[in-house]
Chains A and B, each alone.
Chain A
Amino acid sequence: MAQMPASSVQDSSHVLETHDLRAHYRMKYFGIDREVRAVDGISMHVRKNEVYGIAGESSCGKTTFIKAIAAAIRPPLEIVAGHVNYSFIKGDLYAMPAADRSAIRWRHLSYILQGSMNVLNPVRRIHKTFEDFAFRHMHLGRAEFDQAVKHHLERLRLPAEILRAYPHELSGGMRQRVCIALATLCKPEIIIADEPTTALDVVVQKDVLAMIRETQSGFGSSMIFVTHDLTVHANVTDRLGIMYAGRLVEEGRTADVFANPMHPYTAHLIASLPKIGDTQSRNALSGSPPNLADPPKGCRFHPRCPLAMEICRYENPALTTLAEDHRVACFAASTKVQPANDEGSGEAKTLEMAR
């Protein structure tokens, strides 16, 4: 495959940049006519050698966002607007011919998914799976390739015997570790991890997260880590982006976001994390995320927001930088105005949805 020498990112320290990316599900058949705005205008970047986390509830659009940046789009999902630029591709990702797009997979962009059985072929031995995924990218002879794989496993402290095994002979945690080895074999510039530890037991999760951190820093790849579990983000990511209803509402260094969240949704998510040793009753946020086929006007969070103001019903706040490396999309945070309900207690009020 031809090398892609030129890069299209505006800042050379970035591996990925998206500009106002919009990806909608358009369904117009069998009596249904609906457009679900799953990703609605996301502009962000991922730097080299960093772990960027994306947090949010189910159906906030984070999985759709992953699909959009990995070019895994299939109807009814369509890219409606925006650009995706990588440091290893010349031009926009979607301006490339489809054949070239699939060539970047694994060599430059690989992924770790939630279920290891979504990646590993149950009827092929592990070493065959390695061949299937990586052989054509490495441009090595068969024997050299096998050596490279063994060496890679050694470096990750995985026993070489697993190569001869079938996936069902390994435990869930071991399978996930194999997926990590698979994803890092070609030393890609960026790895996408979608809920990689969600289905694992607590003890195994700790080991697998440690392995993810080690491989990421050891090989210098960037990583996009998607999960709804904020405690995992606190332990793994360098920067964190919070998604709500298809939009980024806050983004910053993980430590800053946890210490001083500026968006009320983020603050609520962090406040509701339980900790051993703490039995104080925590309040839940009332209401539920909006229907993305028909989201509320203005700020999408305003019906559930304890700090909502008049302007929030009509205008959508833009993502603005309010502190160093810390962006928020919230009028209350930007203007530093006191919350409208002035009891100081701020029990989550459910406002009527303004249409």
Chain B
Amino acid sequence: MTAPLLHLDNVTKLYKRGGLFGREEFRAVDNVSFHIDDKEPQVFTIIGESGSGKTTLARMVLNMIRPTTGTIFFKGQDLASIRSGGARRRFMKEVQPIFQNPFEAFNPLKRVDRYLYMTAKNFTDAHSSAQLDAAADAALNKVGLSIGEVRGRFPHELSGGQLQRVAIARALIPGPSMIVADEPVSMVDASLRMSIVNLFRTLRDELKVSIIYITHDLATAYYVSDRIIIMRKGEVVESGSARVVLENPQHEYSRLLKSAVLSPDPHGHGVLTGDSAASQQARASPRRQTINSRS
């Protein structure tokens, strides 16, 4: 029996506030445990509002900060044992991040393609500029872009959606087994979110990458997740299969979250039911088959 992909064992993160007199403790993450097994790639979603500890949790999984107590195992290895540069590099080859604000994730003064080349040089065997170009182009193609659209561009010359896709492409170059995406679509326009969330499906199904998807948006969570945990003030309040939890939430906080989701048709007039040419075309647009829900 192989080790699970990711295993969190009673992980807690405490922050101490205050000066010399009167320090108070703040529990950002409080005794969280879960695991993601490695039999099939899956999308594991962490849902929570601000202050729930989800970003702190993401950073611990990425080994950017250390838990106060508890252990995190990635493929059986304790993250605390990663000390040397070589060990860190091996870890980063397997686990890559996507951050919330694509405009902050790239240096505004530097060109975007530079990060792609840098990642390719450090994590793959590519050396020559032709090889680096090819590696960057291959990764960009997976996210629906090409090197020609991106070469020589600064971050502000691309839209939020495009930039986030470049960030995903960069994360894919080392060939990771797991990507941790911290609110990847909350700073992207609502109309562009679906293209990125669709991408996560592709990453899971075709590229066999597991994704930890952190968000506060229940609608996209329903659309793309396999398993879900709901966090509040650092604790896990509910977990399970995505469809089950979201269709029938048990905990009172989960119910509150679900009731707060806005419907696009609050008064029941119908959406896209009309007979204009545009509506007909939108309805007739081909859809892929409904996926089988997994637990």
Say if A and B assemble together.
yes
A residues neighboring B (CB under 8 Å):
57-59, 172, 201-206, 209, 228-232, 234-235, 255, 258-264, 266-286, 288-289, 306-307, 330, 332-333, 336-339, 344-348
The answer to whether B220 and A262 touch across the interface, beta carbons within 8 angstroms, is: no
Closest A residue, CB atoms, query B195: A284
Within residues 7 to 60 of chain B, which ones have a CB less than 8 A from any CB in chain A?
A: 49-50
Q: How near does chain A come to B151, taking the closest CB pair, in angstroms?
A: 16
Partner of A275, one of B192, B201, B263, B274: B263
- Tell me whether A276 and B260 are in contact (CB under 8 A): no
A-B contact count (CB 8 A): 187
Given contacts A277-B247, A282-B198, A344-B284, contact A260 B49 (CB under 8 A): no
Closest CB pairs A-B (n = 7): A260-B274, A284-B195, A281-B288, A267-B282, A201-B49, A267-B278, A274-B219
Residues of A close to B159: CB separation below 8 A: 57-59, 288-289
Q: How far is the CA of A235 from the CA of B289 in the complex (A)?
A: 30
Instruction: Choose among A209, A228, A279, A346 the residue that contacts B190 (Cβ–Cβ < 8 A).
Output: A228
Contact in complex: A282, B278 (CB < 8 Å): no
With contacts A234-B262, A288-B162, A333-B277 taken as known, whether A261 is within 8 angstroms of B218 at the C-beta atoms is no
Q: What residue in chain B is nearest A227 (Cβ atoms)? A: B190
If A57-B192, A344-B284 touch, whether A273 touches B264 (CB-CB below 8 Å) is: yes
Also in contact, A258 and B260, with CB within 8 A (given A288-B159, A336-B277, A337-B277): no
CB proximity to A under 8 Å, residues B185-214: 189-195, 197-198, 201
CB distance from A16 to the nearest CB of B (A): 25
* A288 CA to B161 CA, complexed, in Å: 9
- Kindly list 4 other residue pairs between chains A and B, CB separation below 8 angstroms, not including A202-B218, A274-B223: A59-B159, A228-B191, A230-B190, A259-B269
Decide if A347 touches B49 in the complex (CB within 8 Å). no
Quick one: which of B137-191 are within 8 Å of A by CB?
A: 144, 159-162, 189-191
Contact A261 B278 (CB under 8 A): yes
A66 vs B271: C-alpha distance when bound (angstroms) = 28
- A202 is contacted by which of B190, B216, B284 (Cβ under 8 Å)? B216
Bound CA–CA A59/B160 (angstroms) = 10
Residues of B with C-beta under 8 A to A289:
159
Known: A57-B191, A228-B191. A202 touches B281 (CB 8 A): no
Interface of A: prevailing SS: loop
Give bound CA distance, A87 to B31, whole Å.
Answer: 60
B220 CB to nearest chain A CB (Å): 6
Interface mask (B260-295 → A, CB under 8 Å = 1, otherwise 0): 111111110111111111110111111111110100
**B98 CB–A CB distance under 8 Å:** no
- Does chain A have a CB within 8 A of B64? no
Interface centre among B189, B201, B273 (most CB of A within 10 A): B189
**A230 partner, pick from B201, B264, B284, B285, beta carbons under 8 A:** B264
Residues of B within 8 A of A347 (CB): 285-286
Among residues of A, the one whose C-beta sits closest to the C-beta of B273 is A259
Across the interface, do A261 and B277 meet the contact criterion of CB distance under 8 Å? Answer: no
The reply to whether B271 and A258 form a contact with Cβ atoms under 8 Å apart is yes
Expressed in whole angstroms, the minimum distance between the Cβ of A206 and any Cβ of chain B is 4
Pair B261/A202 contact, Cβ less than 8 Å: yes
- Expressed in whole angstroms, the Cα–Cα distance for A201 and B257 within the complex equals 10
- Please give the distance in Å from B245's CB to the nearest CB on chain A: 11
Q: Using Cβ atoms and an 8 Å threshold, which residues of chain A touch B109?
A: none
- The reply on B121 being an interface residue by CB < 8 A is no
